[in-house]
Amino acid sequence: MVGIYIGSTSGYSGKNLIAVALGLKLQKEGLKVGYMKPVGAVPRREGDKVGDEDAFFMLEVLGLDSDPALVTPVLVTRDFKVKAFTDGVGDRLQDIKTAYEELSRDVDVMIVAGSGAYVDSGAYCGVEGARVARELGCKTLLIDRYSGELHYDSLLSAQRLLGDQLAGVIFNDVPESYRAEAEDLIGPFLERNGVNVVGVIPSDPVMGAIKVSDLAERLSGKIVSAHLQADRVVENFLIGTMQVENFMTHFRRHKNSAIIVGGDRSDVQLVALEGACPCLILTGNLYPNDIILTRSEVLETPILMVRDDTYTVAKKMESILSSHKLRDTIKVTHGAQLVSSSVDFGRLRKALGI
Q: Residue 284: what residue type?
A: G
| Residue-wise pLDDT tens digits, 249-303 | 555 555 678 888 888 888 888 888 887 888 899 999 988 999 999 999 999 999 9
| Residue-wise pLDDT tens digits, 18-65 | 999 999 999 999 999 999 999 998 888 888 888 888 899 899 999 999
pLDDT attached to residue 210: 83
pLDDT attached to residue 241: 61
Reduced to 3 states (helix: H, G, I; strand: E, B; else coil), residue 121 is coil
- Vertex 336, ends 194 and 61: CA angle to 5°? 115
Cα end-to-end distance, the chain, whole Å: 9
Mean pLDDT in runs of 10 for the chain (354 residues)?
94 89 94 96 85 90 93 93 91 93 95 87 89 94 94 94 93 94 96 96 83 89 91 81 56 71 86 84 91 92 92 85 64 86 93 89
Strand order in the sheet with 166-174: 33-36, 109-113, 2-8, 139-145, 166-174, 197-202
Residues 21 and 209: their CA atoms lie apart, in Å, by: 18
What is the separation of C-alpha 23 from the centre of its chain, rounded to a whole number of angstroms?
A: 16
Q: Residue 168: what residue type?
A: G
pLDDT attached to residue 292: 93
- Vertex 327, ends 232 and 123: CA angle to 5°? 135
Q: Domains along the chain? A: 2-206+325-352 (3.40.50.300), 210-323 (3.40.1390.20)
How many alpha carbons lie under 13 Å from residue 163 in its C-beta half-sphere? Answer: 1
Q: Residue 142: what residue type?
A: L
For residue 143, which of 11, 341, 36 has the smallest C-alpha distance? 11
For residue 272, which of 288, 256, 251, 293 has the smallest C-alpha distance? 251
